[in-house]
Amino acid sequence: MRINSALKVLGKQKVTIFNKDGSIKEVEKGKNLIVNVGKEFASKLLNGVSVLPFKYIALGTGATEALVGDTELDVETSATGLARKEATCDYEVDYKATINATFTNGSGGSVTLKEAGIFDAGAVGNMLARRVFLSVKILGDGESVAIEWTITFA
């Protein structure tokens, strides 16, 4: 008898841009890349070597292709209302971890967003996953972006 115990970690992300009035401006869905350092620290979290859960989402303006060796976003933004923040985390049936956050641009102008990442700290920290958006997201002052991440263990 052959037992298949291979574990796959799959990430999907939904990006929703909202106008000031709360109406939906744009929705984009796509897969993300679980980076090597993310795999390392997820393994360390499993056995208690690390105790920092991946519960922070950061946005960025860089468009360099996501690579498994990435350790940070290409260019993380710190624009007012768009800086890295602690997400709402939950568990869904069928081995899914959800990591969600909504950011509102309060910079007084438009901000261009091109990437997002999941981290284990509110500043610096270790990155689990990175995704470069399929298209540039222009967020006007007062507009919001919701990042909904689902990490599935299959």
For every residue of the chain, DSSP letters joined together read --------EEEEEEEEEE-TTS-EEEEEEEE-EE-HHHHHHHHHHHTTS------EEEEE---PPP-TT--S-SSB---TTTS-EEPEEEEETTTEEEEEEEEE--SSS-EEEEEEEEESSSSS--EEEEEEEEEEEEE-TT-EEEEEEEEEE-
Residue 6: pLDDT band by 50, 70, 90 thresholds?
confident
pLDDT of residue 73: 97
- Residue 95: CB atoms within 10 Å: 13
Locus of tokens 């940070």: 72
Tell me the per-residue pLDDT of 23-53, one tens digit each, with 9 for 90 and over. 999 999 999 999 999 999 999 998 999 999 9
Task: Answer yes or no: is pLDDT of 1 > 70.
Answer: no
pLDDT of residue 29: 98
Locus of tokens 């990175």: 130
- On whether the CB atoms of residues 104 and 80 are closer than 8 A, the answer is no
Tell me the per-residue pLDDT of 87-114, one tens digit each, with 9 for 90 and over. 999 999 999 999 999 999 999 999 999 9
Q: Does the CA dihedral 127-61-65-11 come out positive or negative?
A: positive
Tokens representing 20 are: 């000031």
Tell me the per-residue pLDDT of 107-143, one tens digit each, with 9 for 90 and over. 999 999 999 999 999 999 999 999 999 999 999 999 9
- On whether the CB atoms of residues 81 and 104 are closer than 8 A, the answer is yes
Tell me the per-residue pLDDT of 55-93, one tens digit each, with 9 for 90 and over. 999 999 999 999 999 999 999 999 999 999 999 999 999
Q: Does the CA dihedral 60-65-66-71 come out positive or negative?
A: negative
